Structures are given as structure tokens and as C-alpha cells.
Amino acid sequence: MRRGRSRRRFSGIYSNKTNPKGFHPSQIKFYVILLPLAAFMLLPTIFIFSHAFKPPDELFAYPPRFFVINPTTKNFADLFSRMGNSGVPVSRYLFNSILITAVTIAASMLVSTLAAYALSKKRFKLKKTLFAINTVALMFVPIAVTIPRFLIIEKLSLMDTYFVHILPVLALPVGLFLIKQFIDGIPDEVVQAAQIDGASDVVIYWRIIVPMIKPAIATIAILTFQAAWNNAEISTLYINSESLKTFAFYLSTLTATTAGANVVAGQGMAAAAALIMFLPNLIIFIILQSQVMNTMSHSGLK
């Protein structure tokens, strides 16, 4: 009895030292490394906020200044003033971006989860080949497929339509890869037990697979949101009608500058526009960041 009590007491002391619930002096060595690293990783975000509030003399200061000294809101005032003089209402561009982003996220999650479920839990020919092709697609940057994508879109008569905004970012290779790796962690016995009970593939997918891969779905939602919300390339290459273009494209053209005094005002408006486009990405990531970390820990990306 005494030996058993001593073992439990020793294990409790050892556990408290290795994984304490509160602060413990043994954690100082971790803070010494992690806090400077976290501060360094926050620098780009801090710079975006600081840059948006810099007056013209600080925007063009040499050597460049990282932090703003005399913050001003004139950059945002100039940006909103230019918006008011636009021929097409700003609300139209914003509506297009919100609609396209929402539809793209929903469609991308549906396509990625269905394809990942088939590649992970179903048996069919060329299964490994298809997943290998998706893995190879991870290596291609978007600019490498610009010409083939343009030819395909033109052949499908998708120019000047809403669909041209959605289809190019509908199925992200990285999304399929992450969700497939996540579903691989679900025991096959769970799916087999549902099949024995008479559940169809649709029921298994909707009632078993989807609830168990919510962290991965949240991650794909973030990636798809970034791809759709920040995309100004599609409006530039495939859209001629001004009423079908997105808010990202509108801000990029609004802040385009020419020679002369407009260069100064244009840089300030560009900094303000960059912050406006960045904020939704930051907010969504803060809300779903715990889900993203859970996905990475289950997908083999450590």
C-alpha cells in the first residue's frame, strides 16, 4: 500500500512539473524562445496597420519608418472620397465580392469533402493516381496555369459571367489534401458499422464524416475565403462588364497612381485599401484559428 501511494504521489509531482496548470518557473525557458518569435511573426500585421495611418511625409521617408509617428486618417478620407466619385456604386462591387465569396466557400467545401471522402474511404480504380495528381498540383503556382485556364474558360463561354469567379477557385488542391488526410484518421470500422446498419453513402457522409471533420472544413473555409476575397486577377483577365467586377479589383484600380502629385495621395489610399482588404482575413482567422491548428495536427503537416 505504501509503495502504491508513493508511486501515485511521485507521478502527481512529476505531472505537475512537466505540465503545470498555471505558471511554473520551469516554463520560463519556453517563454524566452516563444515570445520573441511571436513578436517577430506579428511584425507584418503591425506594419499593415501602421502603414495605413502614415501621413505622406512618413510614407516617403528615407530611411523607411516601420512605426507611424504622427498617425492620420486622411488616407481613409481620400479613399472614401474617391469611392463616392465612382461611376458604378461601391455597393455593387462589395455585393459581388460577398456573393462570390459565399458561393465559392460553400461549393468548395462540398466538392472538397465529397472528393476527399471518396479518395479516403471508397475503393475504385485510379484512386491512388488521382490523389497523386492532386498532390503534384500543389507544386504549381497560379501564374503557371494562367494561359491554360484562360483557354478553358474561353472554350466554356464563361467570360463575363459570375461563374468565372467561382470555378477557378472551386477545388483547391491543398484543401482536398488536408481533408483527405483528416478523413484517413477516421477508423474504417466506423464507416463499416454504418454500412452494416444499412446507411447509404450520403448518410455516412453527412451524419458521420462531416461532423468529425469540422476543423478541416473550417480550415478550407479560411483558405477559400482568402483566395476568393483577395482575387483581383479574375476581374482583370476575364471580366469586361464593370458591374461584374469585385471589390478587390475596384480598390486596386482606385489606388492606381500616375505621375505627379497623385503619386503621394495614391500611396496613402493604397495603404488604407490594403488594411481594409486585410481585416476580414484577420477576423476570420482569429475566430477559426483553433480549428486550423487541430487540422494541421491531424493532417501530417507538423
State pLDDT tens for residues 107-159: 999 999 999 999 999 988 889 999 999 888 888 877 888 888 889 888 988 88
Cα distance between residue 90 and residue 75, in whole Å: 17
Q: What angle do CA 14, 20, 22 make, to 5 degrees?
A: 155
Q: Which residue ranges make up each domain of the chain?
A: 78-298
For residues 268 and 74, the answer to whether their CB atoms sit within 8 Å is: yes
User: Which grid cell is 78?
Assistant: 481620400
CATH architecture of 78-298: Orthogonal Bundle (1.10)
H helix runs in the chain, sequence order: 2-18, 28-52, 56-59, 74-84, 90-121, 127-137, 146-155, 163-166, 173-184, 188-196, 201-204, 210-212, 214-229, 233-237, 247-254, 262-298
Category of 276 on φ-ψ map: left (φ > 0), alpha (ψ -120 to 50) or beta: alpha
- Asked if the model's pLDDT at residue 1 lies above 50, the reply is no
pLDDT tens digits, 232-276: 888 888 988 888 889 888 888 876 654 444 566 678 888 888 888
For residues 266 and 81, the answer to whether their CB atoms sit within 8 Å is: no
For residues 164 and 239, the answer to whether their CB atoms sit within 8 Å is: yes
Single pTM value for the model? 0.78
